[in-house]
Structures are given as C-alpha cells and as structure tokens.
Amino acid sequence: MFTDAQRQQATDVLEHCRRKGLLMATAESCTGGLIGALLTDISGSSDVFERGFTTYSYRSKTELLGVETSILEQHGAVSEQVVTIMAQQAMLRSKVDIAVAVSGIAGPGGAVAGKPVGTVYIGVATKQDTVVRRYQFDGDRTQVRIQTVETALTMLQDSLNRSFVYVA
C-alpha cells in the first residue's frame, strides 16, 4: 500500500519520537486518516502513536477538536486558522507531545476563490509552538493526498529536530 520511501519516512519519525520518549497524534481532513495509517503500518508504532482524529466535516472538527463554527464559517476548513486549532487541540486532547494536522482540497471538485484544487494547509503543534504552512500541490486527488502525507511527515521531522533536543 505504501512505498518503501514513505515507510522509511514514517519509521524515521517514529524512531525520533521513541528516542526522545514522545507521544504523537494526528488530525486529518483531506487525507482521511492516511498519515495515521502509514504510521501504524510500522510495527511497534503503538508506543509512540497515541491516536488519530479523522475530521472530514465541519461538525466533526467542532465536536472532536473544538473548532468553533464561527471560525469555520469565516475562514473555511481549508485555512491556517482552522489547521492551527486542529493541531493544537489534537495535541491537548490527546495529552501528547506533538501533533500534525492537515486540511485541503484534494479535488477534483471543491475549489473556491483563492483556494484551487491542491491547496493544503499542514500544521505541527508542540508545547513550544505551532507551525502552519500553505502548500499548492499538483496532480489528481490521490497525488495531492500522497504529497500531503509526505510533506506532513517532513514537517513533523523538522519540528522534532527543532523542538526536542536529545540528551544521551
């Protein structure tokens, strides 16, 4: 289901967390749980991966992650504001050290003014900070989702390198 390179990327994130004694969570919209699926495809991931929230609808984002309806209506689900809250709340509600959140327009439909197909926001929250970035991916629905997963794992690794110093 996943490529060797994707599995290695996930393994590296899990090993990094394991070495530092960290727990992680995901909050996914456009990927529908693919990040969590890739992480849990790795044997032994349960000592690092606490849980994943698949919050595809406005209602699920509100009920599971506390994203206020007014924020969703004002900014849309595919926004820096919503992904920031998703990442922070996934971390807080799971009582973990790091969380990644994604929301985007995988296509082929769903584009709106200023947010074409392939627009994706990815955020990583730690107790120190939250980093959210906007991406514009190319390709069909599957390609956008896969690029989102790979980029989310890269952002997780970058945040782990920046926020958590390993002491031997």
Q: Is residue 168 one of the residues assigned to a domain? A: no
Strands 119-126 and 49-54: unpaired
Structural domain boundaries, residue 50: 4-163
CA distance 76 to 44: 36
Residue 82 lies in a domain: yes
Q: Give the pLDDT score at 164.
A: 73
Kindly state whether residue 113 falls inside one of the protein's structural domains.
yes
Number of domains in the chain: 1
Note the pLDDT of residue 165.
Answer: 56
pLDDT in tens, 37-66: 999 999 999 999 999 999 999 999 999 999
State pLDDT tens for residues 96-105.
Answer: 999 999 999 9
Residue at 91 is within a domain? yes
Does pTM surpass 0.75? yes
Any domain includes 45: yes
CATH number at 92 reads 3.90.950.20
Distance CA 29, CA 135 (A): 15
